[in-house]
A and B are shown apart, each in its own frame.
Chain A
Amino acid sequence: MNPFPSLRALPGALAAAAFLAASAATAKTIELLNVSYDPTRELYAEYNAAFAAYWKAKTGDDVVVKQSHGGSGAQARSVIDGLQADVVTLALAADIDQLHARGDLVPADWQSRFPDNSAPYTSTIVLLVRKGNPKGIKDWDDVVRPGVSVITANPKTSGGARWAYLAAWGYAERKYGSKDRARDFVTALFRNVPVLDSGARGSTITFAQKEIGDVLLAWENEAFLAQKEFGSGKFETVVPSSSILAEPPVAVVEKVAARKGTTDVARAYLEFLYSDKGQEIAGRNFYRPRSPAAAARFASVFPRLELFTIDAAFGGWTVAQRTHFADGGVFDQIYQK
């Protein structure tokens, strides 16, 4: 082996380094950290590239956005414990509320800093069934029938599962007109659940790969992804007559961004989510866009159904969390009976 080929490459490398140094003198490279939750990997992989191009064209600066993904609550805790996130894009407003309550990392009115409750895209909970829909599942009422096996994650550990629980509860309360009936409905639902994975991705794997259960309560985008990943012939999406409007919110972590001097670019990063391009990317990754124009373009992708908000049906996250998911709450009571 010739030990010197690397030496021959040296002048080239030096020239490249000099070039990079020269260009760095005129254009800055800014680094952002976006701390997000599990199912947004594909969305932000595409979005970050688009934003970098946009920002380069606008200001000449390079932006490198780093991503961190995990369970929404765990991610919020990491930021509270000192992970230097410039922006957070999480599953629940309650998790960003904690950033304010513990450490004052975001202002109290963070949710009014961006349009639409700071949720640039929405999603909902749908029912994923096996090909041909052998159990004939059409709506939430079929999910609680005896003999139907339901897969969902543990609402205590999974944000997505909390949405699914609330979707079922909201459907029953509106249809049968009382909280008691809704409680019976949800109790019957969880009696049909053989496994509670700790996260939404885990239950998708349980359903799709291990072939356990007849119906998966899934994020709409996870349902689309599962069909894409495992072949569209294997599963069918059943859209219930009504479900919950999930609004995954975003926020600038003001305290961290101010210290790093990235406040402007962090804000622009989140604002760009509302632009035509941002909305387009959200739609392509199976999140429902907010802007009417983009929504119209994706109308054939996203089925229409009645969507209720958590504020209207439950009085907001804080109340819902306390009544249903806190220790000793309704969910615990279901299992302690």
Chain B
Amino acid sequence: MSPAAAAPRRGTNPPSFRTMSSARSSRAILPGFGLSLGFTLAYLGLIVLVPLSAAFLKTAGMGLHEFVAAVASPRVLAAYRLSFGASLAAGLVNMVFGLVVAWVLVRYSFPGKRVIDALVDLPFALPTAVAGIALTSLYSQNGWVGRWLAPLGLRVAFTWTGVFVALTFIGLPFVVRTVQPVLQELEPDIEEAASTLGANRLQTIVRILLPQLMPSLLTGFALAFARALGEYGSVVFISGNMPMKTEIVPLLIITKLEQYDYRGATAIAVVMLVSSFVLLLLINLLQKWSRRYHAI
């Protein structure tokens, strides 16, 4: 009954360790470790680490006082709250509804399924500015959706909610596309077995399905969250960019650049980088923990 998703991983981990330790002494089971690791490190260094370290170098020239003034002014703090809060909320919502979408796409067949499946990728492919303008005209006071919400006292465009809506839009594919393959691997037989053994539906979901889906759900969430943190193009159109209220962190970075304050801009970028890295690391650990938990 051990889940299929985790089994291959548990199977491959020990041999790969053996590969590493025995590479020097005897022939490795899987050849090419040195070459591929070297390639990986060089590639990551070139594509990821060099640009990022440039940001750190630029801020290294700042005094501590200047750094704190740049990254902890009230306006910047308000932007962190908005960016992290809205990204987190959007990621969580996508985690729930992305799972539902993935479930429907995997488990049922119905006419138009392929079209809907393709629609999921649309937020990936659409230029973010187009998404932003489309969402804004939908949700502004005289937009198709906005005009029905306005009498209810709900304002979406140019508020916190607008930012949240845009971030939810761009994050959806990440959850669906990470959960889908795992769901496909899960045999309905397992649920049937659970049912014959006397589990009710809730028990089947909570004890059988969710534990197996958790790692991929968390990955999807982490991707959607990270993407939302960095999102600029779509959000600036719908947020209204009011200082202290609806300014996202990337906008503040642009604002600093507009004043030729390169160091201030990179200082904020460094804060975002470090905090995103810590958050992603935590999510990774959580994922590892959930994997171990359900494997027992």
A interface list, Cβ under 8 A from B? 71, 73-74, 77, 98, 102, 154, 156-157, 194-198, 202, 209-212, 321, 325-328, 332, 335-336
| Complex contacts, A154 vs chain B, CB 8 Å | 241, 243, 255
Q: How far is the CA of A325 from the CA of B258 in the complex (A)?
A: 11
Instruction: Using known A-B contacts A156-B259, A328-B73, determine if residue A196 contacts B137 with beta carbons closer than 8 Å.
Output: no
Closest chain A residue, CB of each to CB of B240: A195
Cβ distance B254 to chain A, nearest Cβ, rounded Å: 6
Q: Assess the A326–B243 pair: CB atoms within 8 A.
A: no
Q: Assess the B264–A327 pair: CB atoms within 8 A.
A: yes
| Complex contacts, B243 vs chain A, CB 8 Å | 154, 196, 332, 335-336
B158 within 8 A of A: yes
Q: Assess the B75–A335 pair: CB atoms within 8 A.
A: yes
Cβ distance A181 to chain B, nearest Cβ, rounded Å: 23
Which 4 pairs show the lowest CB-CB distances between chains A and B?
A: A335-B243, A195-B240, A73-B258, A196-B241
Q: Assess the B259–A325 pair: CB atoms within 8 A.
A: yes
Q: How far is the CA of A167 from the CA of B262 in the complex (A)?
A: 28
Q: How far is the CA of A154 from the CA of B259 in the complex (A)?
A: 13
B261 within 8 A of A: yes
Q: How far is the CA of A98 from the CA of B260 in the complex (A)?
A: 8
Instruction: Using known A-B contacts A77-B257, A77-B260, A336-B75, determine if residue A197 contacts B142 with beta carbons closer than 8 Å.
Output: no
Q: How far is the CA of A197 from the CA of B158 in the complex (A)?
A: 10
Q: Which of A73, A198, A212 has a CB less than 8 Å from the CB of B241?
A: A198
Q: Which of B137, B236, B237, B255 has a CB less than 8 Å from the CB of A156?
A: B255
Q: How far is the CA of A66 from the CA of B49 in the complex (A)?
A: 35
Instruction: Using known A-B contacts A209-B137, A212-B140, determine if residue A157 contacts B242 with beta carbons closer than 8 Å.
Output: no
Instruction: Using known A-B contacts A327-B73, A327-B259, A327-B264, determine if residue A198 contacts B254 with beta carbons closer than 8 Å.
Output: yes
| Complex contacts, B140 vs chain A, CB 8 Å | 210, 212
| Complex contacts, B75 vs chain A, CB 8 Å | 332, 335-336
Q: How far is the CA of A195 from the CA of B239 in the complex (A)?
A: 8
Q: Assess the A157–B158 pair: CB atoms within 8 A.
A: no
Q: Assess the B255–A157 pair: CB atoms within 8 A.
A: yes
Q: Which of B143, B258, B264 has a CB less than 8 Å from the CB of A71?
A: B258
Q: Assess the B244–A336 pair: CB atoms within 8 A.
A: yes
Closest chain A residue, CB of each to CB of B241: A196
**Digit string of B193-215 for contact with A (CB within 8 Å is 1, else 0)?**
00000000000000000000000
Q: Assess the A327–B261 pair: CB atoms within 8 A.
A: yes
Instruction: Using known A-B contacts A102-B260, A327-B73, determine if residue A157 contacts B254 with beta carbons closer than 8 Å.
Output: yes
| Complex contacts, B142 vs chain A, CB 8 Å | 210-212
| Complex contacts, A210 vs chain B, CB 8 Å | 136-137, 140, 142-143
Cβ distance A97 to chain B, nearest Cβ, rounded Å: 10
| Complex contacts, B260 vs chain A, CB 8 Å | 73, 77, 98, 102
| Complex contacts, A197 vs chain B, CB 8 Å | 236-237, 241
B interface list, Cβ under 8 A from A? 70, 73-75, 136-137, 140-143, 158, 236-237, 240-244, 251, 254-261, 264
Instruction: Using known A-B contacts A195-B240, A202-B237, determine if residue A157 contacts B258 with beta carbons closer than 8 Å.
Output: yes
| Complex contacts, B244 vs chain A, CB 8 Å | 335-336
Closest chain A residue, CB of each to CB of B242: A196
Q: Which of A156, A194, A211, A326 has a CB less than 8 Å from the CB of B240?
A: A194
Closest chain B residue, CB of each to CB of A80: B260
Q: 18 additional contacts, CB 8 Å, given A157-B258, A335-B242, A335-B243? A: A74-B257, A98-B260, A156-B255, A157-B241, A157-B251, A195-B240, A197-B237, A197-B241, A198-B241, A202-B237, A325-B259, A327-B259, A332-B243, A335-B75, A335-B244, A336-B75, A336-B243, A336-B244
Q: Assess the A194–B264 pair: CB atoms within 8 A.
A: no
| Complex contacts, B264 vs chain A, CB 8 Å | 327
Q: How far is the CA of A154 from the CA of B241 in the complex (A)?
A: 8
Cβ distance A289 to chain B, nearest Cβ, rounded Å: 30
Q: How far is the CA of A211 from the CA of B243 in the complex (A)?
A: 22
Q: Assess the A196–B240 pair: CB atoms within 8 A.
A: yes
Closest chain A residue, CB of each to CB of B255: A156
Q: How far is the CA of A151 from the CA of B40 in the complex (A)?
A: 51
Q: Assess the A195–B158 pair: CB atoms within 8 A.
A: yes
Closest chain B residue, CB of each to CB of A210: B140
Q: Assess the B258–A156 pair: CB atoms within 8 A.
A: yes
Cβ distance A80 to chain B, nearest Cβ, rounded Å: 8
Q: Assess the B241–A326 pair: CB atoms within 8 A.
A: no
| Complex contacts, A157 vs chain B, CB 8 Å | 241, 251, 254-255, 258
Q: How far is the CA of A235 from the CA of B171 in the complex (A)?
A: 39
Instruction: Using known A-B contacts A194-B158, A195-B241, A332-B243, determine if residue A212 contacts B73 with beta carbons closer than 8 Å.
Output: no
Cβ distance A55 to chain B, nearest Cβ, rounded Å: 34
Cβ distance B231 to chain A, nearest Cβ, rounded Å: 14
| Complex contacts, A202 vs chain B, CB 8 Å | 237
11 interchain pairs, CB-CB under 8 A:
A77-B260, A194-B158, A194-B240, A197-B237, A198-B254, A210-B136, A321-B259, A327-B264, A328-B73, A335-B243, A336-B243
Q: How far is the CA of A192 from the CA of B240 in the complex (A)?
A: 13
Q: Assess the A326–B236 pair: CB atoms within 8 A.
A: no
Q: How far is the CA of A196 from the CA of B239 in the complex (A)?
A: 9
| Complex contacts, A327 vs chain B, CB 8 Å | 70, 73, 256, 259, 261, 264
Q: How far is the CA of A335 from the CA of B244 in the complex (A)?
A: 7
Cβ distance B135 to chain A, nearest Cβ, rounded Å: 12
| Complex contacts, A156 vs chain B, CB 8 Å | 255, 258-259
| Complex contacts, B137 vs chain A, CB 8 Å | 209-210
| Complex contacts, A98 vs chain B, CB 8 Å | 260
Closest chain A residue, CB of each to CB of B76: A327
Most buried by A among B142, B241, B258: B258
